[in-house]
Amino acid sequence: MKLKLIYSRENLGKPVLSDVISKTNLPINILEAKITLNTGEMLIDVPAVGEKLKEVSNLFQKAGLVVKEITRTIEIDREKCISCGACVSPCPVRAITQDLNWDVDFDEQKCVGCGICVDACPVRAIRML
């Protein structure tokens, strides 16, 4: 499950993520991080479901972070898409590909929600969710 963690200025400097990893013994993967002086957002991949996922989420919340479960990142409007392929090569994780008919395939599991494909699409067929 992907989780978005939102840091405030108060908890930015704290080793929250490493604490949660050591307490849960889970190999949590950072997919994307945007940090400024005052706030921060991190997209992480947590290899857990059910009670274990709840435990992870609770630990982050107890540390003062806002936690959001991310089930979908982008949506491609198939009616608008002209199969130009402009979104394929900019995707850093190859979450968007084209099949033999030039139709766009999207792999939600790979997507890190960076939004690069949104800007790359000339007909605005992709939007962030």
Among 11, 67, 81, 97, binds ligand SF4 (CB under 6 A): 81
Minimum distance from CB of 78 to ligand SF4 (Å)? 8
Cite the beta strand spans of the chain per DSSP E: 2-7, 29-35, 40-45, 66-70, 74-76, 96-98, 104-106, 126-128
- Judged by CB under 6 A, which of 29, 112, 119, 129 binds ligand SF4? 112
d(CA 10, CA 39): 9
Question: How many beta carbons lie within 10 A of that of residue 42, not counting itself?
Answer: 19
Closer by beta carbon to ligand SF4, 51 or else 99: 99
Does 95 contact ligand SF4 by CB under 6 A? yes
Quickly list DSSP for 95-114.
-EEE-TT--EEE-TTT----
Residue 44 or 126: which CB sits closer to ligand SF4? Answer: 126
Binding mask 37-76 for ligand SF4 (x = CB under 6 A): ------------------------------------xx-x
